[in-house]
Amino acid sequence: MGYAVGLMFLVPMGDMFERRTLIVTMTLLTALGLVITALAPTLPVMLAGIGVAGLCSVVAQVLVPLAATLATPETRGKVVGTIMSGLLLGILLARTIASALATLGGWRTVYWVASVLMVIMALVLWRALPRLLPSNNLQYEQLIVSIFRLFGTTRVRALLGCLSFANFSILWTSMAFMLSAPPYHYSEGIIGLFGLVGAAGALAATRAGRLVDKGKATLTTTVGLVLLLLSWGMIAMGATALLPLIVGIVVLDLAVQGLHVTN
């Protein structure tokens, strides 16, 4: 919920404020949310910390248009593909790393380590990013209204993004329950290693941005949707067999990342 609110109400601020300052501030606030979560003595405090972290971690979606702005038109798809691949790799590999950290030191360790890394990232971004002032004079309420106007012209892409990432989330949310039950009985650490399998699929999709640069966005979308559909057949067989499950994970993540970059 925090992430959804951030997408709607914080990301548009990238068109209002100097982006480097905004990005660094949001990164530090994400670190604060992680610290609150790590220190949380009760569930409501933990949920508040997660809410702050989710709200401000949409900073990644401010970085994507910044990268597109800085790129030349002929390399924009490649650049966006690279950034989005990093984003999806983070989502996938976080599961592997979090499982390892939780095994070593408990669930709070995950949030402590993440908060330190976010502070380091804020310092790196402050040094590495150029200062880029907004190119328009729109007020905040005008930016919010413009979201609905944009949706009117990009609703097909928005729907594809919604449904493809729903497929991604359904798989990765439910898979842990399946792998911990018969016939697998895998531990938390081993289940986390499946994030590496998903990362392979995400890396394979980096070419999608280059295909878009060549004017093949429709073809890339069609292939991605077909692969996404086929992947579920393999995943269904994965309920009792490991190899089809691994193949299905790779194909699904390849398809979702390809669609995401193309969108």
Contact 108, 38 (CB under 8 A): yes
Instruction: Annotate 150-178 with b (16+ C-beta within 10 A) or e (fewer).
Output: eeeeeeeeeebbeebeebbeebbeebbeb
**Backbone φ and ψ of 217, nearest 5°:** -65, -45
On average, the pLDDT of the chain sits at 91
CB 16 within 8 A of CB 134: yes
pLDDT at 10: 94
> Are the beta carbons of 67 and 152 closer than 8 angstroms?
no
The confidence score (pLDDT) of residue 199 equals 85
Closest CA to 27 of 91, 97, 115, 88: 115
Domain spans of the chain, in order of start:
1-130, 154-263
Give the pLDDT confidence score for residue 85 in this predicted structure. 83
DSSP state of 18: -
Backbone CA torsion sign across 177, 182, 185, 186: negative
Contact 192, 96 (CB under 8 A): yes
pLDDT at res. 89: 85
For 1-130, give the CATH class.
mainly alpha
pLDDT digits (tens, 9 = 90+) for 97-107: 888 888 888 89
Count CB neighbours of 243 within 10 A. Answer: 10
What's 14's DSSP letter?
G
Per-residue model confidence (pLDDT) at position 197: 87
Report how far residue 231's alpha carbon sits from residue 244's, in angstroms, rounded to the nearest whole number: 9
- Listed as ranges, residues in the chain with pLDDT below 70 are none
Q: Which stretches of the chain are DSSP H helices?
A: 2-9, 19-39, 43-56, 59-70, 76-105, 107-128, 140-180, 188-204, 207-213, 217-237, 242-262
DSSP 232-247: HHHHHHTTT-HHHHHH
What are the CA-CA distances from residue 116 to residues 122, 187, 257 (Å)? 10, 27, 28
Tokens of 6: 């951030």
Task: Quote the pLDDT of residue 27.
Answer: 98
- In angstroms, the CA 33 to CA 57 distance is 10
- Are 221 and 136 a contacting pair, CB within 8 Å? no
**Residues 125-165: tens digit of each pLDDT:** 999 999 988 877 889 999 999 988 988 899 999 999 999 99
